[in-house]
């Protein structure tokens, strides 16, 4: 049997790598950039969070767009535009222009994760969905695990400006690859009838007629996305999960270099270790969750257990406050990010609980509230560390992981699709 869905999954994986490359290359460039442009820690916090302002603000419109526009065209356009904005960062000479370009990347990346979830919902049966989500989500970790030392090396050779230009060029190339090779199931000429039947019978939303039957968007749909306790549970949990991720995607290299005194090149290699752990965590989570489903365990147990265990492990980030040993600092941060990876299959809750005609919209709201962490956390950390002590920031991140654990445990409730009459 042909398995074209795995080719599609490889495309999403590559796109997630590019997505996170363009979100986080600025964290590698931050130390040299702040010195070159004479930026304060508070200004760097604003630069780190500028992406999140527009990314969050456009999640609901982005989710609506995902429900209405063919993903082949939408994703190619998004990739091209955010890559252009990334490239242009290499030419900035002022705080204001840099802030604007970072915000524009958030505009063009806004529909990306609702789109990823919609693609997996179209292409994969429910019993394979957590694994598929884990695989593409792992792209953000494995890509950065290998890219951090590479990005540090590139910056060492061509400077922070060259780093951003190279990143933008890679994204432009990938936008062409996406357009050439992606198709929805109903438009894919080489997918077999057997595979379409398998994924359709397994709960995948593959038929274009489903889209044609959907009612046009109205404000009642938006109200439905905020109406249910289980949705609020996953929204809040995603915010807390994102708080850990955002620390690693923004302040982490600066923490190692400026607050722990590590050499820049060495910090690039050490920074890759927690990302490798997160990669292992997210794959372990996805495949374990699907395995438990296939063995007959309930959706509550199978989907929630990895997430809850992961949120608890992420509390280990606080341990870095109690040691000056580089080994133990990296160990505590690695355990925390492994836990973050273990908890990172939360998109499966959107796929399994959102009303069928609102997958993109609920995904947009989910990513909006989760994405608020990208707005709040970098600025909060920038304020907390302005006196030169990073420990309050790590306590703050640890508190967020505990809140996320409680949200998934007590608020989400039974994992089942919401039916709207």
CB-CB contact of 343 with 141 (8 Å): no
Separation of CA 271 from chain center: 18
- Cα→Cα distances 95→56, 88, 91, 101, 386, Å: 21, 14, 12, 10, 18
On whether the pTM is more than 0.95, the answer is no
208, containing H or E segment: helix 208-213
Round the average pLDDT of the chain to a whole number and report it.
85
For residue range 67-97, what is the model confidence (pLDDT) as tens digits?
778 889 999 999 999 999 999 999 999 899 9
pLDDT tens, residue by residue, 161-173 = 999 999 999 999 9
**Count, residues in the chain:** 421
Q: What is the CATH number of domain 4-185+192-199+221-410?
A: 1.20.1250.20
Q: Per-residue confidence at 236, pLDDT binned at 50, 70, 90?
A: very high
């Amino acid at each position: 049997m042909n398995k074209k869905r795995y080719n599609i999954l490889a495309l999403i994986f590559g796109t997630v790598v590019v997505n996170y490359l363009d979100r986080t290359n600025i964290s590698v460039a931050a130390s040299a950039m702040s010195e070159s442009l004479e930026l304060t820690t508070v200004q760097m916090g604003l630069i780190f969070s500028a992406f999140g302002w527009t990314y969050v603000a456009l999640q609901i419109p982005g989710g609506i767009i995902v429900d209405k526009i063919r993903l082949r065209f939408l994703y190619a356009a998004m990739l091209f535009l955010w890559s252009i904005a990334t490239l242009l960062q290499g030419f900035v000479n002022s705080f204001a222009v840099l802030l604007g370009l970072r915000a524009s990347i958030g505009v063009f990346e806004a529909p990306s994760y609702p789109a990823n979830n919609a693609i997996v919902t179209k292409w994969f049966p429910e019993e394979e969905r957590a694994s598929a989500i884990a695989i593409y989500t792992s792209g953000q970790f494995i890509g950065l695990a290998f890219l951090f030392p590479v990005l540090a090396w590139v910056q060492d050779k061509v400077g922070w400006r060259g780093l951003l230009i190279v990143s933008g060029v890679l994204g432009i190339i990938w936008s062409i690859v996406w357009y050439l090779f992606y198709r929805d199931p109903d438009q894919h000429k080489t997918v077999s009838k057997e595979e379409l039947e398998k994924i359709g019978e397994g709960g995948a939303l593959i038929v274009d007629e489903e889209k044609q039957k959907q009612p046009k968007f109205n404000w009642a749909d938006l109200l439905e996305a905020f109406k249910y306790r289980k949705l609020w549970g996953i929204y809040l949990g995603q915010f807390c999960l994102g708080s850990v991720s955002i620390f690693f995607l923004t302040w982490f290299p600066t923490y190692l270099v400026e607050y722990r005194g590590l050499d820049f090149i060495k910090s690039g290699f050490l920074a890759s270790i927690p990302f490798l752990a997160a990669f292992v965590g997210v794959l372990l989570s996805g495949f374990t969750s699907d395995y438990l489903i296939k063995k007959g365990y309930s959706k509550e147990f199978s989907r929630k257990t990895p997430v809850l265990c992961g949120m608890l492990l992420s509390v280990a980030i606080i341990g870095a406050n109690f040691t000056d040993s580089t080994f133990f600092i990296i160990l505590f941060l690695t355990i925390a990010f492994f836990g973050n990876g273990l908890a990172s299959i939360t998109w499966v809750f959107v796929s399994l609980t959102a009303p069928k005609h609102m997958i993109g919209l609920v995904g947009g709201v989910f990513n909006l509230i989760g994405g608020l962490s990208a707005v709040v956390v970098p600025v909060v950390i920038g304020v907390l560390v302005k006196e030169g002590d990073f420990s309050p920031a790590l306590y703050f991140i640890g508190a967020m992981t505990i809140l996320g654990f409680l949200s998934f445990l007590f608020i989400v409730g039974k994992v089942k699709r919401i039916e709207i009459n």
